[in-house]
Amino acid sequence: MNLMGEQHLAVVVLAAGAGTRMKSNKPKVMHEIAGLPLLGHALATASSLGASFVVPVIRHQREVIAPYIEAFYPNAVIADQDEIPGTGRAVECALDAIPADFKGAVVVTSGDVPLLDVPTLEGLIDAHLSQGVAATVLTAILDDPSGYGRVVRTSDGSFLKIVEDRDASKKQLEIREVNAGVYVFDAEHLRTALGRVGSHNAQGEKYLTDVAAELLAEGFEVQGIPVTDNWLVAGINDRVQLAEVTAELNRRICEAWQLAGVTILDPSSTWIDVTAELGQDVTLLPGTYLRGMTKIGPGATVGPEVVLVDTEVGAGATVIKAHATGSRIGAGASVGPFSFLRPGTDLGADGKIGTFVETKNAKIGAGSKVPHLSYVGDAEIGEGSNIGAGTIFANYDGVNKHRSKIGSHVRTGSDNVFVAPIEIGDGAYTAAGTIVRRDVAPGELAMNVAPQRNLADWVIQKRPGSAAANAAEAAKASGKNSSEN
């Protein structure tokens, strides 16, 4: 980052708190919004600042949080907070985790403020460095400031101190300018000031917020800069705020895709993870969820009522009322309504997975169709084949799973069972109702259905007086529907 010049930068992300207001077995910062844990959003932003050190501070449920950081941010320096509580102590522990001679700017953010963006932080760092102050605090002016620390200013408007909600006087509680929990400090001054901060407050914690007053007392300058968009600093402490911030982030994600050329009929019922990618002229209909690494190709139509998880949809494809995970849907293909695509489904271009069809680990070639009421598991189907209605790929013998292979341009009859392992050659047919237990060579017709016997007058004799028998007798009398058998 150019504006840093020769300055060094460390970014501390606070995530050691217990998050008790979430009432959860899961650490607060691991709750997800738009496909990433809260901490993932915070670390993505922190990692985009070109800092020498990104330092997440953790303690509560370390065993859950540390593996996430190690997997996705292996360059981050994890700092462990000790038993002394408070945001001030957390930052002290962060400073202990980086070289003692570190000089430069220290940005402090929180793992529970997911909408904070890179331009806001860059602007804050810029304001901090250009003013040559010891600390810069990002503030927000809220209609309802309850819960937040209040920014107390002198009568001439200069920064005086931050008072926590629980420690504030009645008069201070009326202040609408709050501490957003995002700061830039000079590293050396921060170290010294933290050493002097005590824990004489309602929570008995060592507050980072007290550093501001400490620095001012030492004759340094501290500035508070209000953010222009309050959503960027919305903190999540409970599940009501989790839902509110999730909806707002989703609204922003939908808006960005709309401006990039995606039609979204109803953004409020369309949920798109930050990790999803959409092409031009995609249409999303209500009740659509695009999760994880889902990618939608140009011109595809998805919805209504579709859930796609880590699924790729090709250009011009159509997906209606379907649930797909770990699947690929080819260009021009059609899926749904009422289709369930489990991991490993790979539908070729212009193929079809139709109504009440479940697939798993199934490669279905270009132009091949499974239109109705079927289960296709552990199978490979060539190109241009048609699987009859009501077909089951019997892949499980009770102990092991086996594969089925169907060639190209095959026509299978309705109500077939393919007992795997099995192979059907190119251009073969199978008759309706066939239980296919032996391989079928190219071009053969397979059938193993018992010859049909029609027992004359069975209903009239065995069910005398019934509606069926009466109808049969009437039909016979009028000479209707006579059979040759």
Question: How far apart are the C-alpha atoms of 36 and 34, rounded to whole Å?
Answer: 6
Q: Which of Ca ion, ligand UD1, none is residue 87 near (CB under 5 to 8 Å by kind)?
A: ligand UD1
CB of 207 to ligand UD1, least distance (A): 4
Tokens representing residue 166 in the block: 């629980």
Instruction: Choose, by CB under 5 A, the member of 37, 235, 365, 377 that binds Ca ion.
Output: 235
Question: Between residues 40 and 235, which has the closer beta carbon with respect to Ca ion?
Answer: 235
Give the amino acid at 92.
E
Instruction: Choose, by CB under 6 A, the member of 40, 56, 181, 330 that binds ligand UD1.
Output: 181
Binding mask 59-98 for ligand UD1 (x = CB under 6 A): ----------------------x---xxx-xx--------
H helix or E strand, kind and range, residue 406 = strand 404-406
H helix or E strand, kind and range, residue 257 = helix 239-259
Question: Between residues 20 and 158, which has the closer beta carbon with respect to Ca ion?
Answer: 20
Question: How far apart are the C-alpha atoms of 481 and 463, rounded to whole Å?
Answer: 19
Question: How far apart are the C-alpha atoms of 301 and 303, rounded to whole Å?
Answer: 7
Which residue among 8, 60, 372, 402 is the active-site one?
372
User: Counting contacts by CB under 6 A, is residue 314 touching ligand UD1?
Assistant: no
Residue holding tokens 């995606």?
A: 262
User: Which range, of 107-115, 248-256, 425-433, 463-471, touches ligand UD1 by CB under 6 A?
Assistant: 107-115
Tokens representing residue 144 in the block: 């309802």
Alpha carbon distance, N-terminus to C-terminus of the chain: 88
User: Counting contacts by CB under 6 A, is residue 39 touching ligand UD1?
Assistant: no
Tell me whether strands 312-313 and 295-296 are parallel, antiparallel or unpaired: parallel
Among positions 184-223, residues that touch ligand UD1 (CB under 6 A) are: 207-209
Binding mask 229-268 for ligand UD1 (x = CB under 6 A): ------x-x-------------------------------
Question: Between residues 182 and 187, which has the closer beta carbon with respect to ligand UD1?
Answer: 182
Residues β-bridged to residue 11: 54, 107
Question: Between residues 163 and 424, which has the closer beta carbon with respect to ligand UD1?
Answer: 163
- In degrees, to the nearest 5, what angle opens at C-alpha 479 toward C-alphas 476 and 482? 75
CB of 236 to Ca ion, least distance (A): 7
- Is 372 among the catalytic positions? yes
From residue 463, how far is each of 169, 202, 257, 460 by CA, in Å? 90, 86, 66, 6
- The residues, any chain, with a CB within 8 Å of residue 55's CB and separated by 6 or more, are 10, 11, 12, 13, 76, 77, 78, 79, 94, 97, 98
CB of 85 to ligand UD1, least distance (A): 4
Among all residues, which ones are annotated catalytic? 372
Task: State the residues that interact with ligand UD1 by CB under 6 A.
Answer: 14-17, 57, 81, 85-87, 89-90, 110-112, 148-149, 162, 164, 178-181, 207-209, 235, 237
Task: State the residues that interact with Ca ion by CB under 5 A.
Answer: 112, 235, 237
